[in-house]
Amino acid sequence: MYVCICNAINCKTVRHSVENGASSVASVFKACGKTPQCGRCFTTIREMVGDARPAHGCTGHSHAIAAE
């Protein structure tokens, strides 16, 4: 599922960034080579960074947006 529509960042990309050391919203964007746009995804990314556990899946985040 997409977490950031503006930059087409999905939950797998966020999770991969966190597993590789991203520890904040800004560091996730930096790891993806993207720049934040509208900010609607910040809460979801912040939650995913905070959850940072090995078995973290794409579900359970009400702010994530399904790809059409």
Measured distance CA(51)–CA(6) in Å, rounded:
23
Q: Classify domain 2-51 by CATH number.
A: 1.10.10
Contact between 56 and 15 under an 8 Å Cβ cutoff? The reply is: yes
Which tops the pLDDT comparison, 62 or 1?
1
8-39 per-position pLDDT tens digit:
999 999 999 999 999 999 999 999 999 999 99
More confident residue, 52 or 29: 29
Query: Which of the four pLDDT bands, split at 50, 70 and 90, describes residue 67?
Result: very low
- Angstrom distance (rounded) from CA 4 to CA 36: 9
